Amino acid sequence: MKNIIQTAADAGSFKTLVSAIQSAGLWETLSAQGPFTVFAPNDAAFAKLPSRQVQDLLKDKAKLRSVLTYHVVNGRISSSDVANLHSARTVQGQDVSINSSRGVMIGDARVIQKDIRCTNGVIHVIDKVLMPKM
């Protein structure tokens, strides 16, 4: 089993996320012991953003870090835990809503793959990039 970063990099469907994590200087943090829960937008999720917005994020390291850490929660939250939660405090500092009434929604993103176990946490793949209130 690999850590969150290694797992995401090896999957091949998180190229934009992995690149953004490197650009934001979060590689070591998300390789650390954790545990962390990462709501990971795949490349298709990033492709839904206007290309200019992605480019602007990559140029603004502080904003990029804020967006990326909004996808991370301290602790290991499995899909079975989600049914009992209505929100979670992100590493970024804001809460993200959780709704499991019709599938699992994290904010306005749908969880499309759940419980990818890693040595330092768990990844849940989502179909949209979450944006914190700025």
Residue 64 is predicted with a pLDDT of 96
Task: List, for residues 8-57, the tens digit of each pLDDT value.
Answer: 999 999 999 999 999 999 999 999 999 999 999 999 999 999 989 988 99
SS3 label, residue 110:
strand
Residue 83 is predicted with a pLDDT of 76
Mean pLDDT confidence for 63-72: 97
Task: List, for residues 74-121, the tens digit of each pLDDT value.
Answer: 999 999 998 789 999 999 999 999 999 888 999 999 999 999 999 999
Q: Is the dihedral of CA 35, 13, 81, 109 positive or negative?
A: positive
Tell me how far apart the alpha carbons of residues 58 and 65 are, in angstroms, rounded to a whole number: 10
Residue 13 is predicted with a pLDDT of 97
8 A C-beta contact, residue 66 and residue 24? no
pTM: 0.95
Quick one: which of 53, 58, 74 has its CA closest to 21?
Answer: 58
- In sequence order, the β-bridge partners of residue 41 are 126
Residue 114 is predicted with a pLDDT of 96
Counting every residue written for the chain, the total comes to 134
Domains, in order of start, for the chain? 4-126 (2.30.180.10)
Tell me how far apart the alpha carbons of residues 27 and 122 are, in angstroms, rounded to a whole number: 16
**How many CA atoms, within 13 angstroms, populate the side-chain half-sphere of residue 16?**
19
